[in-house]
Structure 1
Amino acid sequence: MRLLCVFLMFLGLVCQAEPVYEFDNPVDRARFQQFNEELRCPQCQNQNLAGSDSLVSETLREDLYEQILAGRSDKEIIDDMVRRYGDYILYRPPFDASTAVLWLGPFGLLLIGGTVLLLMVRRRARQTAQDPELSAAEQARLQRLLDEHDTQAASREQP
């Protein structure tokens, strides 16, 4: 009997029912799904409402459901969420002074990286162009050293 009670308690934990949100029309259902995909869970690290199992996300989903059923527009719902949770709740925050680094940072880093790469290529090209040619005496000495090396290698190869 005890084993049956423990099993039923465990089964109750495993089979927790997720709330079912039913809508009168497919447009409202699509809006709800879009909000779930585009709004970030305030508690989780970089996870949308649809993928989060936190209590906060569950509460937000219920709130979204109620607001959609109440006939609120998308803008009203977004404004309400931003008012309560800040721009963090949006995966695509608006462009303003506080989010300018988020929007312009990647382009700035790309510009800096391109500039550094261009300067390195130019410096290497300049160094290559400035490398002096060998004088006739240096070329003769180099040829003599190569010839000596070849004769030593050939003498080692002969038994």
Structure 2
Amino acid sequence: MRMITLLLVSLLSVPALAAIQVYEFDNPQQEVLYQQLTKELRCPKCQNQNIADSNAPLAQDLRQKAYELVKEGKDRDQVVDYMAARFGNFVTYDPPMTPATIFLWLGPLFFVLGGLAVLLVRTRKNTALTDNPVMDPAEQAKLERILNGDKD
């Protein structure tokens, strides 16, 4: 009975042994920088999740590398540049404007300008149709007489 109790207690305590990553920093500024970086950097493997919230092995590696870089005294831009150089601009939620991403940045503007151009053309076309009737004046006068109730 004692053996069963010991076995149950040891099995129930296994979740308490789950690994929690604890990082030691030299000063509070490094810790704040690390926390900001882990919330700003996106996990390349996960679906739009930052490395602070992801449990993927790659995100754990990125957190470890970010910790190492912060401990070395690197600033925010240096850490972000290192991660972007290694994993591409996908790791940042705010990618820079490059020739490859210019359409992502200017696409919405082109879409709105195209919509306004279509509206302008259609409005002008409708105005032109009402100003220039399709019927010749004799037919239009005959139609107006019929609509007014006059008979030929």
After TM superposition, the structure 1 stretch with the greater mean CA deviation from structure 2, 74-83 or 17-26, is 17-26
Pick aligned residue for 2:43 from 41, 46, 68? 41
Q: 2:28 maps to what in 1?
A: 26
Q: 2:89 maps to what in 1?
A: 87
Q: 2:12 maps to what in 1?
A: 8
Change (3 A) 1:17 1:121: farther
After TM superposition, the structure 1 stretch with the greater mean CA deviation from structure 2, 42-51 or 126-135, is 126-135
Could you list the runs of 5+ residues in structure 1 that have no partner in the other structure? 146-159
Identity score, percent: 36
Could you list the runs of 5+ residues in structure 2 that have no partner in the other structure? none
Q: 2:103 maps to what in 1?
A: 101
Equivalenced residue count is 143
TM-score, length basis structure 2: 0.73
**RMSD of the alignment, in Å?**
3.1
Q: 1:128 maps to what in 2?
A: 130
TM-score, length basis structure 1: 0.70
Change (3 A) 1:73 1:7: same
Amino acid at match of 2:90: Y
Q: Distance in 1 between matches of 2:99 and 2:140?
A: 62
